[in-house]
Amino acid sequence: MNDAEIAAAATFLPVSELARRSAIPEDALIPYGHHMAKIDPARLPRSQRTPGRVVLVTGISPTPAGEGKSTVTVGLVDGLNELAAQADAPAWWRGRTAMAALREPSLGPVFGMKGGATGGGHAQVVPMEEINLHFTGDFHAITAAHNLLCALIDNHLHQGNTLGIDPRTIALKRCLDTNDRALRQTVIGLGGRSQGVPRENGFEITVATETMAVFCLSRDLEDLKSRLSRMIIGRTHDQQPVTVGQLGPNGAQGAMAVLLKDALKPNLVQTLGGSAVLIHGGPFANIAHGANSIIATNTARSLSDLVVTEAGFGADLGGQKFMDITAVAGGFPPAASVVVATVRALKMNGGLSLGEVNAGATAGVAAGTAETAERRHLVALEAGVANLERHVQNLSVYGVPVIVAVNRFPQDTDAELSWLTDWCGRAGVRVAVAEVWARGGAGAVELARQVTEAIAEGTGSYRSLWTETMDVEERIDAVVQRIYRGSHVEYSAEAKRQLAQLTEEGWGHLPVCMAKTQYSFTDDPKVLGAPTGFGITVRELVVRPGAGFIVALTGAMMTMPGLPKAPAADVMDVDADGRISGLF
């Protein structure tokens, strides 16, 4: 059976029963149908328990289809809850509970290439179809709030522009939760005086906007409004920044918050194994900070002993940003980190083509050589493991225990898996093969054991890559040299101008959110493996005071993706009875 068929055949708990088992009182629950609900954190009783600790799940440099971090995350939380009921569990974990905190899926990848974000096989969050599509409407609310701001800005220009905004400096673009390259650059306000002030604009995907980042990094509604008010919308003709808080008599943050107040409550759903999951917020990790909302993680911490959360793409992107931005803003340093690795991604990083990787090592004799495909694949795995080694070393910089989860795929051979686990043993890294797609939580019990034993050892001591006194250049240098292993940073003329301006205006102390390709440690997606000695080009620096960081755009990164030649939407349909096909 495929993912959709497995989910359709499953029986889930009513959300009211799921809430009861998770110690969520009825008056804190806002049901959305039978199996989804929002939680009002303000109505949760003040717990005397110690807040749960956080386990971060990240990964190696991926293939275009992804390596199953969400699937492993879901399987791990089920595995932790299964392990807690076993007599041979680590003593501290017996009788304990785990929850997951995940990002909401974006419709861009759902209808594009990667598909949804609810896991797969027997390690899924359900109801899969509802979560991957409109869910509880959070992304629509964020899109509406952001576009309301854009409409208010253009209305201000049309109605006299009392703030003296230079239209050429308005950096905010409208947004849409869809991959649509044709909207990257637009011209608006055409058609005469009554249609507004003509200017260049464009669209970003919703998850790349500062509004999404603010949403995910806010602690509560008042913090949300405060952060929204600090967002820079443009500049005056003498280059003074104009913020959301200056727009209109009371600022535009109140109107935006009206649209976001209900969306700010985290969403409760469940795994196929019956574990509770909070799904909330969803910034991309290559062009944003890549973690679910702080509110969801802290809510889960108040309800469980371990919270398993995922950061997007590899440890060089979502992992680094979680450690240096999200964990600091949320006040929850991770107790352990899990690196999801796959044989196929390591072989691609070791020199095989994507087609060869997907075919597997049993596909016959490699063309043009006497070597069998099996030997050729094993050689590529041996070469590609340098990528895993780099990610493990990078996470170790933060002082927390690292566990490798090998996400098993059907085409993986026993020889490949044996070689990879042996390599981890020789490298002194904890490792477990996760068979969560096929077995659900039962396929992650050994991984759960490795995680809980690593935490029990108590040898970890979290530390950030940055110090508070570092300026923007020093923070970028630290990421490039210590995480990417590059030798230097080059700034475009525009980035140099922006760096001087933001430093003069007092933003030079902010953290940096690197926007970089997910496929490589470099800013070139074609350079795979574990390169060293390269340069990173920063072409633009964007100050985002609401989010509390500066975005450094590198290489050719864009904030509005395009659809692939054969998007997932091509095979989607719904029959007369409302049954959806093609969604994954």
Q: Which residue type is seen at 544?
A: R
580-581 vs 573-574, strand pairing mode: antiparallel
How many Cα atoms are found within 13 Å in the side-chain-facing hemisphere of 558? 15
Q: What are phi and psi of 476, to 5 degrees?
A: -65, -45
326-353 burial, b if ≥16 CB within 10 A, otherwise e? Answer: bbbbbebbbbbbbbbbbbbbbbbbbebe
Active site residue 114: yes
8 Å CB contact between 97 and 352 = no
Active site residue 517: no
Active site residue 522: no
Q: Provide the strand spans (E) within 294-392.
A: 306-310, 334-341
Q: What are phi and psi of 570, to 5 degrees?
A: -60, -30
Structure tokens at 449: 């054991």
Which of 111, 135, 284, 409 is catalytic? The answer is: 409
Active site residue 409: yes
- Cβ-Cβ contacts under 8 Å for 126 (sequence gap 6 or more): 7, 10, 12, 35, 118, 269, 270, 271, 272
How many whole angstroms separate alpha carbon 389 and alpha carbon 131? 34
Active site residue 285: yes
Structure tokens at 144: 């509406």
DSSP for residue 104: P
Burial of 384 (0-12, 13-18, 19+ CB in 10 A): buried
How many whole angstroms separate alpha carbon 121 and alpha carbon 437? 4
Which of 255, 285, 311, 380 is catalytic? The answer is: 285
- Cβ-Cβ contacts under 8 Å for 79 (sequence gap 6 or more): 436, 441, 442, 443, 444, 445, 446, 447, 448
Cα distances (angstroms) measured from residue 377 to each of 356, 385, 528 = 9, 12, 16
Which of 111, 139, 313, 322 is catalytic? The answer is: 313
Structure tokens at 450: 């490795």
Angle in degrees, CA 431, 435, 440, rounded to 5:
120
How many whole angstroms separate alpha carbon 121 and alpha carbon 233? 44
List 269's β-bridge partners, or say none: 277
8 Å CB contact between 391 and 60 = yes
Active site residue 423: no
Which of 58, 71, 136, 297 is catalytic? The answer is: 71
8 Å CB contact between 388 and 404 = yes
Cα distances (angstroms) measured from residue 414 to each of 134, 329, 408, 419, 433 = 40, 43, 10, 8, 11
Structure tokens at 31: 């049901």
User: What is the number of other CB atoms lying within 10 angstroms of the CB of residue 14?
Assistant: 13
Active site residue 313: yes
User: What is the number of other CB atoms lying within 10 angstroms of the CB of residue 42?
Assistant: 9
How many whole angstroms separate alpha carbon 377 and alpha carbon 361? 6
Which of 21, 43, 94, 114 is catalytic? The answer is: 114
Catalytic positions, please? Answer: 69, 71, 103, 114, 285, 313, 409, 437
